[in-house]
Amino acid sequence: MALTKTEWIELEHKAAQLRQLTLDTCNWAGSAHMGGALSSADFLTLLYHKYLNFDPQHYDDPDRDRCIVSKGHIGVILAALYAQLGLVDKEDLKTFNLTGSSLGMHLDSNKVKGLEVSTGSLGHGSALALGDALAARVLGRPHKTWLLLGDGECDEGSVWEAAMATSHYKATDLITVVDRNHAMIDGLTEDVMALEPFADKWRAFGFDVLEVDGHHMKKLSQAMEQAMAASEKPVCIILDTVKGEGISFMAGDYKWHYGAMDSDKYARATEDLKEYEAKRVQRAEQEG
């Protein structure tokens, strides 16, 4: 299962393509939630293109693995991802956020084929994911359920209600992933509402915690495989990420939680993404 060098390089290209398509969509729409979209890009690429048992041709197969994206504001990258998977028409990305579009900034699962749930109000995905995992148990049709949370979202009490229940019900087929990009709308998480010691909080709620570089495909894939093998305790993977990763003027700037695009910025961002892809492929070739 471990990532081969070829696979790694291929995934780097996929991730680069996803980042570019996300930027394009933002450009067509005029603005988008770029920061948190880019911090999740590598995880989403690895999940959808390697680990998730999800066939876009049979997106409603009852035995498929599910991915519940609780940080619903990254609809822009999900739309791009689903376009990449062939579930959204690429042309439709040009209507993102526009009147009458099937694609709003928080995606509607009743309008996007294969999208598991509608999220946007934060702190909801955890319970939905747990519900799905328990349904699989009751119906005797096991599958993995992946849950992607934002870190700022973990201010919501409902995240911890569900965390408590996930470990109470030993839902080890549910894998929790937190995109720890350290930023939220009003500033850095530690300034707005401190989360640290974050990993300890998850451990205290009964999880095995894996902390991993969320922008390093190899390390990330190892963590994901370890989580998938868990059977004693549910696992929480904390992705150490950078908000706006890949675009120089966005990276690490919490103001790019949501931002407006213009032609100058778009040109610079496109250049940045190319450079970033080259660096990432180079790393894959060296370390792979």
CA distance 286 to 234: 34
Beta bridge partners of 209: 236
CA distance 24 to 80: 9
User: What backbone torsions phi and psi does residue 86 show, to the nearest 5 degrees?
Assistant: 85, 10
Q: In the numeric block, which tokens belong to residue 271?
A: 């250049």
The greatest distance separating any two alpha carbons of the chain, rounded to the nearest whole angstrom, comes to 54
Q: How far is the CB of 6 from other proteins (least distance, A)?
A: 36
Q: How far is the CB of 137 from other proteins (least distance, A)?
A: 8
Provide the H-helix boundaries in the chain.
5-29, 34-46, 75-84, 125-139, 157-168, 189-192, 198-204, 217-228, 263-287
Nearer to other proteins, 3 or 148 (CB): 148
- Are 93 and 80 in contact by the 8 Å Cβ rule? The answer is yes
Nearer to other proteins, 159 or 223 (CB): 159
Nearest one of 20, 5, 43, 4 to 275, comparing CA atoms: 20
- 56 preceded by a cis bond (ω within 30 of 0): no
Nearer to other proteins, 8 or 54 (CB): 54
Q: How far is the CB of 93 from other proteins (least distance, A)?
A: 23
Q: How far is the CB of 109 from other proteins (least distance, A)?
A: 6
Nearer to other proteins, 168 or 279 (CB): 168
Nearer to other proteins, 40 or 126 (CB): 126
Nearer to other proteins, 62 or 86 (CB): 62
Q: How far is the CB of 78 from other proteins (least distance, A)?
A: 16
Q: In the numeric block, which tokens belong to residue 39?
A: 């911090």
Nearer to other proteins, 101 or 226 (CB): 101
Q: How far is the CB of 130 from other proteins (least distance, A)?
A: 5
Q: How far is the CB of 128 from other proteins (least distance, A)?
A: 4
Q: Is 30 helix (H, G, I), strand (E, B) or coil?
A: coil
Q: How far is the CB of 181 from other proteins (least distance, A)?
A: 23
CA distance 201 to 79: 32
Nearer to other proteins, 85 or 135 (CB): 135
Nearest one of 183, 117, 190, 114 to 148, comparing CA atoms: 117
CA distance 82 to 75: 10
Task: Give the residues lining the site for other proteins (CB under 8 A).
Answer: 62, 66, 68, 108-110, 116-121, 123-124, 126-136, 138-139, 157-158, 161-162, 164-165, 168-169
Parallel, antiparallel or unpaired: strands 145-150 and 66-69: parallel
CA distance 182 to 171: 27
